[in-house]
Amino acid sequence: MVFIIKLSDNLKQGTAMDEHVDFTAMKDGTREEYELLARLEKPYLSLTADRVLGELKRASEATLEGYKITRLEHGLQAGTRALRDGADLDWVVGALLHDIGDGLAPQNHDKMSAEVIRPFVRWDVAWTVEHHGIFQMLYYGHHYGWDRNAREQFRHHPVFNNCAEFCERWDQSSFDPDYPMESIDTFEPMVREVFSRKAYDPEIIQEGFVSSLTGNP
């Protein structure tokens, strides 16, 4: 009986795996086919947090040379500083993942990192992550002959101060091999909570609302 049940389960799985659309060009798809795709996509979407955590863990191996710490440790330090500053869930996860795009897009990692989290966090957190690269130039841009004050073009943006403080408190300071950072296990439940949210939920995004960066003065 046990064998029959397992065989039945395998047949069901095989049937699901065999489901596919008939079209070879998207313009030829039917409503029924797109409904099928939407249904089959749900299990994949549910694993988004797993893929993000996997990419974060890989940052301990595929890292940028020359620093005293790995890309993973930098993210953990930034997330730890945000957590200890009393920041809320969105800011903590934003700090943890602000460089998650480095693995695939090191030259525009800030924008890629922002797109990873944008559907699931407040807009001001996503904006900060998207622009932290140009704000960070304040600390080193002049050494390369760049405009270290390039961020001034955003001076009148409502999130300017938060982004500047984000960089000062959590990003530029998080390259210390002796800093007692939390492990990835501390942040995993937070990442899973954020990525389990409904994507682009207006109640989460809160477009136009500018939150407090920390819970501490």
Q: Report whether 95 contacts 79 (CB < 8 A).
A: yes
Say how many C-beta atoms besides its own lie within 10 A of residue 31's C-beta. 7
Q: Is the pLDDT of residue 196 over 50?
A: yes
Is 26 contained in some domain? yes
Identify whether residues 39 and 66 lie together within a single domain: no
Identify whether residues 91 and 70 lie together within a single domain: yes
Model confidence, pTM:
0.87
Identify whether residues 13 and 71 lie together within a single domain: no
Is 213 contained in some domain? no
Please, which pLDDT band fits residue 174 given cuts at 50, 70 and 90?
very high
- Residue 32: which domain range? 2-45
Identify whether residues 40 and 55 lie together within a single domain: no
> What pLDDT shows up at residue 168?
97
pLDDT digits (tens, 9 = 90+) for 1-55: 333 333 334 434 444 557 888 888 899 889 998 999 899 899 989 999 999 999 9
Q: Is the pLDDT of residue 129 over 60?
A: yes
pLDDT digits (tens, 9 = 90+) for 103-123: 888 889 999 999 999 999 999
